[in-house]
Amino acid sequence: MDSVCVIGLGYVGLPTAAMFATHGKQVHGVDTNPQIIDTLQAGGIHIEEPGLAAFVQAALVSERLRVRMEPVLADAFILAVPTPFTTGHRPDLRYVLSAVRAIVPYLRPGNVVILESTSPPGTTLSLVPILEESGLRVGTDILLAYSPERVLPGRILTELVVNDRVVGGHTVEAARAGADLFRAFVTGEIMLTDATTAEMVKLMENTYRDVNIALANEFSHIAAHVGINANEAIRLANYHPRVKILQPGPGVGGHCIAVDPWFLVAAAPQSTQLIRTARAVNDAQPEYVVGLVRRAVADIASPVIAILGLAYKAGVDDLRGSPALDVVKMLTDIGYQVRVHDDHAHRLPDGTPIERDLVTILTDADLLVVLTDHDLYRRMKPNDCGPAAMSHRRLLDTRDCIEANIWEAAGFTVDKLGSGQTHSTPAVSR
């Protein structure tokens, strides 16, 4: 297979398209968002990801990658479009269905079609009748497979290549064909299975993470009750050869970990009590953090809160589903004056520019709240940000990324999420 058409140029599709283009394939990238196409064709990029801009531009300049709004004939078609959920946490497959319908006119005998989007179990097989509207038979004329992406935003170009990969086929031949295609650049192992199992594998991976983050968050609540520091206890517990407790935080953001478990709940509502409870624990974490903030400024009439970090995790500019936005909204609704800073994200979802100067954010502030552990905050020292400018020297670290003793030596009161003090924890309504 020498030519590949990639439908969807997001944080999975675009790196995948460029990776194929720099590994011997002629690639045609498709996105229905004209701004994305215009940005790429003008030499820009719409995704902040280390190394991606240069990598994509090299593929475009070499003309091994072209980007347009319409598909073309190709040996293989890869669908990497969003799969959000709608109201009631029901999977929304409209983008998958429109992408499949878009390629039907371009299908030819011998083609391979691979769905990459995280999808409810059974989605790939449900595409067969749509693909057969081409007049071609799936399984004989064309092959259909599912292969989920595991790349970690912030490490995409490395993980695209080195990660082990699962390819699930509508038929065994389809799985083999998918594996052959990905061997163009994948150095990790490629495991073959059936399409529905591969869909389930992806959902299990992210649900496993969500449940374990919920466990860490619940440990942070218990720690506050019993007067210990959860982060210290977790660090020590993880010395056990078979224990890997994750980190408490202000909640679970992004468009994967907080979304994918709902695909399993939708698939088996009666059998997903633990998964649903973990989602509730993680979704309640922003409110728990607001309770910690309220307690930290309870003695101040009209507190000014300086929020450091809005992105859903360190090192990215992505605000989608970020728990920090929930915290900011709740604090604003209480009537606090809230200022926000982020070292990667440039604009709020409504387009408002995000302040980039720390001293501006901290002047006259009463409390500094770290919600995202960007390196800038991890490295920050008290005199980096004119502490004299603050009205009260108080800091709440929800990511265990601040060296408390350095700040305490500078006269700060430092609270940490999960740091036990013998006091009642803030009420968290379920």
Non-local (6+) Cβ contacts of 194 within 8 A are 168, 169, 170, 175
Q: Are 366 and 302 in contact (CB under 8 A)?
A: no
Taking the complex as a whole, the smallest distance from the CB of residue 38 to ligand SAJ amounts, in Å, to 26
Q: Amino acid letter at 307?
A: I
Q: Amino acid letter at 76?
A: A
Taking the complex as a whole, the smallest distance from the CB of residue 247 to ligand SAJ amounts, in Å, to 4
Taking the complex as a whole, the smallest distance from the CB of residue 316 to ligand SAJ amounts, in Å, to 7
* Residue that the structure tokens 């475009």 belong to: 60
In the complex, which residues of this chain contact ligand SAJ (CB under 6 A)?
118, 149-153, 205-206, 209, 213, 216, 246-247, 249, 252-254, 256-257, 312-313
Q: Which is nearer to ligand SAJ, 256 or 414 (CB)?
A: 256
5 in catalytic set:
no
Q: Which is nearer to ligand SAJ, 124 or 247 (CB)?
A: 247
Taking the complex as a whole, the smallest distance from the CB of residue 279 to ligand SAJ amounts, in Å, to 12
Q: Are 78 and 65 in contact (CB under 8 A)?
A: no
Q: Are 16 and 116 in contact (CB under 8 A)?
A: yes
Please pick, among 5, 25, 256, 313, the residue that the annotation labels catalytic.
256
Q: Which is nearer to ligand SAJ, 112 or 257 (CB)?
A: 257
Nearest to 233 by CA among 245, 242, 241: 245
First to last CA, the chain: 53
Q: Which is nearer to ligand SAJ, 107 or 259 (CB)?
A: 259
Nearest to 414 by CA among 331, 324, 298, 296: 296
Residue nearest to ligand SAJ (CB): 249
Please pick, among 202, 385, 401, 416, the residue that the annotation labels catalytic.
202
Q: Which is nearer to ligand SAJ, 28 or 341 (CB)?
A: 341
Q: Are 310 and 356 in contact (CB under 8 A)?
A: no
Query: Alpha carbon 270 to chain centroid distance?
Result: 27
Taking the complex as a whole, the smallest distance from the CB of residue 57 to ligand SAJ amounts, in Å, to 24
385 in catalytic set:
no
Query: Alpha carbon 105 to chain centroid distance?
Result: 33
Give the active site residues: 202, 256
